[in-house]
């Protein structure tokens, strides 16, 4: 079990898949740990399955921009 503050909520909206910093946005959501390696694993299919959507190129690009701001966990 992880502390909720170390998880990032991703939500499927009519406008696409977005990061939900408030964790209160309406729509189907999924949580991913705030480490790059966890996001890399999520991009391999588990995130799309959890959200029940196919990630578009635009969705993936937006999420990858966010992931670029996260620690990689290798130097912790």
Q: Which residues of 32-63 are buried (b: 16+ CB within 10 A; e: fewer)?
A: bbbbbebbeebbeeebbebbeeebeeebeebb
pTM tops 0.75? yes
pLDDT at 1 over 70: no
In this prediction, residue 36 carries a pLDDT of 92
CATH top-level class for 4-67? Answer: alpha beta
pLDDT digits (tens, 9 = 90+) for 12-54: 999 999 999 999 999 999 999 999 999 999 999 999 999 999 9
In this prediction, residue 67 carries a pLDDT of 95
**Domain boundaries of the chain, sorted by first residue:** 4-67
């Amino acid at each position: 079990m992880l502390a909720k503050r170390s998880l990032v909520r991703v939500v499927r909206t009519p406008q696409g898949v977005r990061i939900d910093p408030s964790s209160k946005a309406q729509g189907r959501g999924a949580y991913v740990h705030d480490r790059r390696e966890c996001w890399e694993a999520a991009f391999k299919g588990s995130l799309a399955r959890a959200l029940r959507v196919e990630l578009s190129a635009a969705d993936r690009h937006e999420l990858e921009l966010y992931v670029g701001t996260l620690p990689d966990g290798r130097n912790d």
